[in-house]
Amino acid sequence: MLEYKNNPNSNIVEVAVVGKITAKNLEQVAAQMKADIEKHGHIRVLEEFHSFEGMDPIALWKDAKFGLNHMDKITHVAVIADAKWVQTLASAVGNIFSAKVKVFEHSQAETAKQWLETAPEPNQNSKLEYKSSSDSNVVELVIEGKITESDFDRVIDQFKADLKKHGKLRILEDIRSFEGMDPMALWKDLQQVRLVNDISHVALVADQKWMRTLAEAAGSIVSAEIKSFESSELAAARTWLATA
């Protein structure tokens, strides 16, 4: 079940997870959380896992639906759990969505609460820049901050135009900073997965090790040849794309 606590004078809400989560239980908590979002605009969430015995299939679907519609209204999440798989999953989610996610063990509960109270607001500035040339099938994406739905719509139109012109594209992704994606931008990104077959090479430039690891893993799944570089190797990445 889920236990929900809020404070009328604060945008910090607490969710305790105990046992199995049902669809009815999730609906109750989602309604309470939605009301707090409407009241405060944005909320910070403390999620404490005492035990977890799974979710009803309908509850899982409703949880995903609620997340897509409201995740951009959650700025910080403190996850308290001793189970390693919960900690790993929470960290992975934090790498994708725009909310700041930090993991704590139960012995660090007070530290988690203090972090939620004092953590600075996330940077709202973002940049998704698209560069291309009419005489080359190499395109460059520069990513800084959070990717929004409008950013994605603008870039995908340019991408499709270049794809129509060249047939196949080579992509350089220069990730200077990454603070997640709006849920709808992520959803639209997943809808474009069929375009992967029209990409022959990808050079990923990023200093974050998890991004390079993810890129290398993706290279074993998709047909495109993927190679990762650190930011100091940007010139080498461009050379590789031009000559591979």
Mean pLDDT (whole number) for 79-97: 82
The burial class, CB within 10 Å (0-12 / 13-18 / 19+), for 40 is middle
Q: What is the pLDDT of residue 101?
A: 87
Residue 73, C-beta contacts closer than 8 angstroms, at least 6 positions apart: 37, 41, 42, 43
What are the structure tokens assigned to 200, written together? 């022959």
Average pLDDT of the chain to the nearest whole number: 83
| Rounded CA separation 99/231 (Å) | 25
- Mean pLDDT across the stretch 85-89? 85
What residues does 78 pair with on adjacent strands? 46, 102
> Is the per-residue pLDDT at 171 higher than 60?
yes
DSSP H or E stretch at residue 226 = strand 225-229
The pLDDT score that the predictor gives to residue 172 is: 93
Residue pLDDT, tens place only, 116-142 = 998 887 655 567 888 888 889 999 988
Q: Tell me the mean pLDDT in the region 174-200.
A: 70
Q: What is the pLDDT of residue 108?
A: 95
Beta bridge partners of 174: 142, 205
pLDDT > 90 in the chain, percent: 27
Closest CA to 206 of 196, 198, 216: 216
pLDDT at 61: 55
Delineate the domains of the chain, giving CATH numbers in brackets.
2-118 (3.30.750.24), 126-243 (3.30.750.24)
pLDDT-derived band at 193, boundaries 50, 70, 90: low
Residue 4 has pLDDT above 80, yes or no: yes
User: What CA–CA distances, in Å, run from 100 to 71, 173, 181?
Assistant: 11, 23, 12
**pLDDT value, residue 119:** 87
pLDDT at 56 over 80: no
> How big is the chain by its Cα radius of gyration, in Å?
20
Higher-pLDDT residue of 178 and 180 is: 178
Run of H or E including 76: strand 74-80
Mean pLDDT, to the nearest integer, of 168-195?
72
pLDDT band at 96 (very low <50, low <70, confident <90, very high): low
**Among the ranges given (28-32, 89-93, 189-193), the one the predictor scored with the smallest mean pLDDT:** 189-193
Q: How confident is the model at residue 62 (pLDDT cuts 50, 70, 90)?
A: low
> In the predicted model, is pLDDT for residue 188 greater than 60?
no
Share of the chain above pLDDT 70, in %: 85
pTM beyond cutoff 0.75: no
Buried b (16+ CB within 10 A) or exposed e, 195-219: eeebbbbbbbbbeeeebbebbeeeb
Give pLDDT, residue 22. Answer: 82
Q: Kindly report which listed range (185-189, 195-199, 200-204, 236-240) carries the lowest average pLDDT score.
A: 185-189
Comparing CA positions, the residue from 155, 187, 149 lying closest to residue 173 is 155
